[in-house]
Copies of this chain bind each other. A is one copy, B any other.
Amino acid sequence: MARIVMKFGGTSMAGTERIRRVAGIVKRQQEAGHEVAVVVSAMSGETDRLVNFCREANALYDPAEYDVVVASGEQVTSGLLALTLQAMGAKSRSWLGWQLPIHTDDAHAKARIESIDTDEILASMAKGEIAVIPGFQGVTADKRITTLGRGGSDTSAVAVAAALKADRCDIYTDVDGVYTTDPRIVAKARKLKNVTYEEMLELASVGSKVLQTRSVSLAMKEKVRVQVLSSFIDENAPAADTLPGTMIVSDEELAKIEQEGLDMERQLITGIAADKNDAKVILTAVPDRPGAVATIFGPLAAANINVDMIIQNVGREDTDTDVTFTVPAADLDRTVAVLEENRGTIGYQKLATDPKVAKISVVGVGMRSHAGIAATMFKALADRGINIQAISTSEIKVSVLIDSDETELAVRLLHTAYGLDG
């Protein structure tokens, strides 16, 4: 017997007909002999409806009251899933955020989970009751409802799995797993059998939106084994834990899997991600003196603008330098405003921007022990005349900035170059 937390998103919970489908999946999991807790999202569209009500009521809404309103969506689906499970002959009850309770800090609308009480729910599950828990919500020390921010239900599921010491956290999504790259770009993209937390974080933060980044960080910290599965499985499929999804595991578990030869298709590079959400900023002829760079990035940090890739080139004279960096495209206007405001202190000659860039990243823990990964990338791109505008690397990732028109071409070239084509 295992203890399993299952999580279903808004598309899966949209209406009683779909909830019945979810209940079938959940019940089969219990019938396979496991203790089961389910974390659910609101019906798709419902959170937007509630958020709009709040905006109409008060443009500068009080996040504490906003939380009261928007947390109701998951309350409804929790009750309905418990009712549906009961109708199918399973024992079930709902546990709202304040009932468990799921303790959070008081940062309303973007709260962080601090702890989850489990005595009562474990006793209930031990009696064979399927626990249904609304995602996205918690409660403060002074008994106010909180929400975790959009997409917080994945985080709720991982936190519940950690608190319950679950054997696995199965996240049911619109896709059936994590792929080597976006299958809409590369038809030969393959579903990965295993991916490590860090790989998943790198892939997520550069564009693969399968799971909330925050939930993956939490899973890594709490060592929760997370599996990504499709919620569109056949009504008569066997219990969910026999279905092939993508398992997100620790480095240690991956090492064991590889040692035992359980993931034959695994390559040095796990996946390739493309991200078109950045814009490039170029400051030319910045005086090359100690502290010069701080005069640029200090004010940007103060304005809460997240700078990603940074390259500093020696300029035309050895007394000045060019600085290139990327920021989220959504923050480009604010970035320009901040830089112009600080032009006197920074002392640059010219400010240029380019929103037409894409960041292409190759990710894989295998990089740690193998040289030449980056060289393969640069060569593959150079062979087809794709110009690299900037490079950044981490221990398990190499990212390059290119013209966004070349995104799909670059991803396909690299997918082949690293032997990922299925």
* Dominant secondary structure at the A interface: helix
Contacts of A86 in B (CB 8 A): 58, 61-62, 65
One complex includes copies of this chain to the number of: 2
A75 contacts B69, CB within 8 Å?
yes
A68 contacts B75, CB within 8 Å?
yes
How many Å lie between the Cα of A76 and that of B54 in the bound state? 9
Q: How far does the Cβ of A55 sit from chain B's closest Cβ, in whole Å?
A: 9
A69-80 contact mask (Cβ, 8 Å, vs B): 1 or 0:
101100110111
How many Å lie between the Cα of A86 and that of B143 in the bound state? 21
- Indicate whether A96 sits within 8 Å of B68 (C-beta atoms), given known contacts A16-B57, A76-B53: yes
Pick from B66, B82, B94: contact of A79, CB under 8 Å: B66
A82 contacts B56, CB within 8 Å?
no
Contacts of A93 in B (CB 8 A): 64-65
Residues from 76 to 123 in A contacting B, C-beta threshold 8 Å: 76, 78-84, 86-87, 93-94, 96, 98-99
How many Å lie between the Cα of A61 and that of B83 in the bound state? 6
Q: How large is the interface on A (under 10, 10 to 19, 20 to 34, 35 or more residues)?
A: 35 or more
How many Å lie between the Cα of A158 and that of B64 in the bound state? 27
How many Å lie between the Cα of A98 and that of B143 in the bound state? 9
A58 contacts B79, CB within 8 Å?
no
How many Å lie between the Cα of A79 and that of B84 in the bound state? 28
A54 contacts B69, CB within 8 Å?
no
Task: Kindly report which residue of chain B lies nearest to residue A98, judged by CB atoms.
Answer: B98
Task: Kindly report which residue of chain B lies nearest to residue A70, judged by CB atoms.
Answer: B79
B99 contacts A83, CB within 8 Å?
no
Q: How far does the Cβ of A274 sit from chain B's closest Cβ, in whole Å?
A: 40
Q: How far does the Cβ of A85 sit from chain B's closest Cβ, in whole Å?
A: 9
B80 contacts A53, CB within 8 Å?
yes
A143 contacts B99, CB within 8 Å?
yes
Task: Kindly report which residue of chain B lies nearest to residue A96, judged by CB atoms.
Answer: B68
Pick from B16, B58, B83, B144: contact of A83, CB under 8 Å: B58
B75 contacts A62, CB within 8 Å?
no
Residues from 318 to 335 in A contacting B, C-beta threshold 8 Å: none
Task: Kindly report which residue of chain B lies nearest to residue A132, judged by CB atoms.
Answer: B65
Q: How far does the Cβ of A205 sit from chain B's closest Cβ, in whole Å?
A: 33
A59 contacts B87, CB within 8 Å?
yes
